[in-house]
Amino acid sequence: MVSVNLEVRDDVSSRYLDMVRGQRRRGNGGWQFTAKSLLALLAVVAMIGSAVYWWGVQSQLTNNWVVATAFTAILVLAPPSLTSFLIPWSPGGMLLQKINARTWGYAVIIGASLYLLYYSFEIQYSWWASQPVVAGTGLILQQVIIGIIGFIIIPALLWTPVTSEELVEQVRQAHLVRRYELQTQADIAILRATLLRAQEKALIGFANLTVQEKEELAGVMRGLVKGIDHTLRDIGESVKTVSGATVPFSSLDDNDDIRSYLDYIHESLTDNALIPGRNRTQERVPVAVQSQQAHGEAYYDDAGRYVEGRHRPTGRY
């Protein structure tokens, strides 16, 4: 049997594959006239017409041609470009709109485009009202709407607010920020659970710990919060490095809730009669003292005096 290595086939020149490649090139080189192409052509014509129209209006309003030119440029270009943000015409555009909808910039775009539409409407209405034939036939509103569609809506439909690369970048940034938020929430939830657990233990079992151990535990709790703060700051930094978006970082240590938990735990662990000058939690003292007595360790007696390494003379022995 002839064994033909199929992988070899691609290396060998193939007239068939050359023909397919050639067909593709010719296919790509061709230009298809679609409804969108027609709209693009119409948009170009409409915008040239818009420039002529607005120049006619603005040059009547002022003799300063520089100002008239600037206003003409604004009224020709600004309404379609701002409106293009409001009427996305692709799945990517819809997503971008959803992401940007909660930003201040988007509110500004909505306000500015609405005002420009209103201004355009008013001026065109006055202009058409001054045309005797239109005014006589009562077609002012219809003419104005046609003008707004041609001057603003059609160009706005054809313009995409951002390029595909920018769209991808914005979506990525939104994703990263969301992930950061979720991770922060998860960290806070874990921390809260940990602290609550520690709180329970502080009430039940920590009374049997030595003073030093309690101090140490309180330090560990604070260290835990600082460690999470550090992790969050790292995440924020990595978000900034990857996407360029600065994510505001609020330290957990500054959070009133967390701080109150920490203070409570610190007090629960350290604020007791074993430490001279503190005697608010006397009910836990005997447990600790008995524990220390059992091991023959140093302890504070009921009057707060330090007793070193001997058993307390009680009736138990």
Q: Which residues bind other proteins (CB under 8 A)?
A: 1-4, 6, 8-10, 12, 14-17, 19-21, 24-25, 27-28
Q: Among residues 29 and 105, whose Cβ is nearest to other proteins?
A: 29
Compute how many other C-beta atoms are within 10 angstroms of the C-beta atom of residue 275: 14
CA 156 to chain CA centroid, nearest Å: 27
Q: Among residues 3 and 34, whose Cβ is nearest to other proteins?
A: 3
The distance of closest approach from Cβ of residue 259 to other proteins in the complex, given in angstroms and rounded to an integer, is: 59
The distance of closest approach from Cβ of residue 29 to other proteins in the complex, given in angstroms and rounded to an integer, is: 11
The distance of closest approach from Cβ of residue 19 to other proteins in the complex, given in angstroms and rounded to an integer, is: 6
The distance of closest approach from Cβ of residue 9 to other proteins in the complex, given in angstroms and rounded to an integer, is: 6
Q: Among residues 25 and 98, whose Cβ is nearest to other proteins?
A: 25
50-85: buried (b, 16+ CB within 10 Å) or exposed (e) per residue?
bbebbbebbbeeeeeeeebeebbeebbeebbbbbbb
Q: Among residues 21 and 178, whose Cβ is nearest to other proteins?
A: 21
The distance of closest approach from Cβ of residue 157 to other proteins in the complex, given in angstroms and rounded to an integer, is: 25
Q: Among residues 6 and 66, whose Cβ is nearest to other proteins?
A: 6
The closest alpha carbon to 59, from 73, 46, 47, belongs to: 73
168-185: buried (b, 16+ CB within 10 Å) or exposed (e) per residue?
eebeebbebeeebeeebe
Phi then psi for 315, rounded to 5 degrees? -70, -10
The closest alpha carbon to 289, from 191, 208, 198, 190, belongs to: 208
